[in-house]
């Protein structure tokens, strides 16, 4: 019988997503504009109203204890990253890392 690894957080299964969530925590100001671009791109696909409805349902469940809950843009970005399809998660993750690299932050993208 093979043992399945248990993950505590939704992004722990993917080293790239784990890296990006940590980068969002470490470089929130540098990535905030990119997070806003990500939100706009998601809005283009599903509509701002759908995102607002999603967040209005999710927000009451948020206890506010996580580092990203203190900033509404980062909170919404992380929550949307959590629910979008994996290919979009990875695309956004790669974009966040590219933006930091363009701004001179030394980031080695983890490979999976």
pTM exceeds 0.75 for this model: yes
Which two tokens mark 76?
Answer: 């919404």
Which two tokens mark 92?
Answer: 């956004």
Taking residues 65-86, report their average pLDDT.
87
b/e burial code for range 3-34 (CB count within 10 A of at least 16 → b)? eeeeeeeebeebebbbbbbebbeebbebbeeb
pLDDT tens per residue across span 39-64: 888 888 888 888 888 888 887 777 77
110 closest CA partner among 97, 100, 99? 97
Give the integer Cα–Cα distance in Å for 45 and 60.
25
pLDDT over 60 (residue 3): no
109: left (phi over 0), alpha (psi -120 to 50) or beta: beta
pLDDT tens per residue across span 79-101: 889 888 888 899 999 999 998 89
Q: What is the pLDDT of residue 15?
A: 92
Q: What is the pLDDT of residue 16?
A: 92
């Amino acid at each position: 019988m093979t043992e399945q690894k248990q993950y505590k957080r939704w992004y722990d299964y993917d080293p790239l997503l784990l890296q990006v969530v940590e980068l969002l925590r470490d470089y929130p100001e540098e990535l905030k504009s990119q997070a806003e671009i990500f939100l706009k791109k998601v809005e283009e696909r599903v509509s701002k109203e759908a995102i607002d409805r999603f967040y209005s349902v999710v927000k009451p469940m948020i206890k506010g204890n996580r580092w990203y809950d203190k900033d509404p843009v980062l909170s919404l970005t992380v929550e949307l990253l959590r629910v979008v399809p994996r290919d979009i998660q990875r695309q956004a993750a790669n974009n966040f890392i590219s933006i930091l690299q363009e701004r001179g932050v030394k980031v080695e993208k983890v490979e999976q």
